[in-house]
Amino acid sequence: MGGVSFLLRVTLTDRPGSLGLLAVALGSVGADIHSLEVVERGPGYAVDDVVVELPGGALPDTLITAAESVAGVQVDSLRPFTGKLELHQELELIEAVAAARADRLQVLADRAPRSLNASWAMVVTRSGDEAIRLAASGSAPETLLTRADWLPLAAAVTFDPNSDWIPQGWREHDTLLAAAPLGDGSKALLLGRVGGPDFRRSEVARLGHLAGIVSGLIHPPG
- Tell me the average pLDDT across 42-52: 88
**CA nearest neighbour of 182 among 124, 102, 115:** 124
Q: Is residue 70 within 8 Å of residue 22, measured between CB atoms?
A: yes
Q: What is the maximum span of the chain, computed from C-alpha positions, in angstroms?
A: 60
Looking at residue 222, its pLDDT comes to: 44
Of 52-66, 85-99, 191-205, the range with the lowest mean pLDDT is: 85-99
More confident residue, 47 or 17: 47
- pLDDT reading at 95 higher than 90: no
More confident residue, 107 or 55: 107
> Looking at this protein, which amino acid is placed at residue 218?
I
Strands 45-54 and 4-13: antiparallel
Query: How many Cα atoms occupy the beta-carbon half-sphere of 11 within 13 Å?
Result: 11
Of 24-33, 81-90, 115-124, the range with the lowest mean pLDDT is: 81-90
Looking at residue 93, its pLDDT comes to: 85
Start and end residues for every CATH 3.30.70.260 domain found in the chain: 4-80
SS (H, E, C) 81-110: CCCCCCCCCHHHHHHHHHHCCCCHHHHHHH
Q: Which CATH class is domain 90-218?
A: alpha beta
Tell me the pLDDT band of 33, cut-offs 50, 70 and 90: confident
The one-character DSSP state at 132 is: E
User: In DSSP terms, which residues pair with 157 in a beta bridge?
Assistant: 179
Looking at residue 75, its pLDDT comes to: 95
**CA nearest neighbour of 122 among 197, 131, 155:** 131
pLDDT digits over 126-157, tens only? 998 899 999 999 999 999 999 999 999 999 99
Q: In what order do the strands lie in the sheet with 157-158?
A: 130-136, 120-127, 187-194, 175-182, 157-158
Give the CATH number of domain 4-80: 3.30.70.260
